[in-house]
Amino acid sequence: MLENRAYLSVRLNTSSGRITRLGDHPFGGSCTAMPHAATILQLRQLLAERFPVAAPRHGLVFSTGVTPLDEVLGGGLWKGTLTEISTPADAAGCLTILNAILCASAQERRPIALIDGGDGFDPQPLDPAVLAHLLWVRCRNTAQFFKAADLILRDGNLPIVLLDLRGSAHAELKRIPNTTWYRLQRIAGQSAVACLIATPWFMVSSAHTRVQIQGALRVGDLDRPTEQLFSMMDFQVIRRHGLGGTIAEAV
């Protein structure tokens, strides 16, 4: 069936407050715009139509599908928190991790959102069964990005939200105020959503955990088996909020 071989992509217009549905694209198909636009208030209906079965939310943590990353995170991505992973924008390691998280979520039949700050995500390498669980929000600038992040985190229907800022303009990233991150943390906490943010350098001041990915992969490494790729990476926790709100910083 087409529904099992398609992913849903949308684009947010920050000036009009409308969501343009780019379509339920067949795997390997082109992304042609569809004449369907919805107000922000209709996003919940759109998601309910695309993902009619309630997403599993058992436990407090979601596995990333990357064993060494789960280990340093204490089991995976925790509900109600922001987790930041940082790697250079031109490194392939972070993309491999994001794809692994998409696969792990699909195995649990759990819908997931990817808010793509640079509109650079490539769905082609992923299996159609994985893409069937994906809401891909394509952004052209940080204004669109944060409007979409605020909306989807506040909605709370998708238990995991991935935010990828690695392809965004550096000049825009440097202008993001700390209050923006604390607002997103507050929303994620209220909606019990697990949120992973991929950045080219550490910038998420409200992150529960910051992880530096060292030994970052290059494009030429991607032909290796996935587990071998993960063994080539070094996941170092730079900061973690402890019990009682204390913060541990790596020296």
61, 74 Cβ separation under 8 angstroms = yes
CA gyration radius, the chain: 17
Q: Which of 102, 99, 84 is nearest to 200 (CA)?
A: 84
pTM of the model: 0.81
DSSP string, 36-71: -EEEGGGHHHHHHHH--SPPP--SSEE--S-HHHHH
3-class secondary structure, 80:
coil
pLDDT attached to residue 57: 57
Cα 123 to Cα 114: distance, rounded to the nearest angstrom? 11
For 51-67, the pLDDT digits (tens) are 665 555 567 899 999 99
111, 7 Cβ separation under 8 angstroms = no
Judged on CB neighbours under 10 Å (0-12, 13-18, 19+), 41 is exposed
**To the nearest whole number, what is the mean pLDDT of the chain?**
80
Q: Is the pLDDT of residue 241 over 80?
A: no
pLDDT attached to residue 228: 77
For 75-126, the pLDDT digits (tens) are 999 999 999 999 876 666 788 899 999 999 999 999 999 999 998 898 988 9
pLDDT attached to residue 32: 34
User: Backbone dihedral region of 75: left (phi > 0), alpha (psi from -120 to 50 degrees) or beta?
Assistant: left
The enclosing H or E element of 31 equals none
Could you tell me which residue, 208 or 37, shows the higher pLDDT? 208
Instruction: Identify the structural domains of the chain with CATH numbers, from first to last.
Output: 55-249 (3.40.50.300)
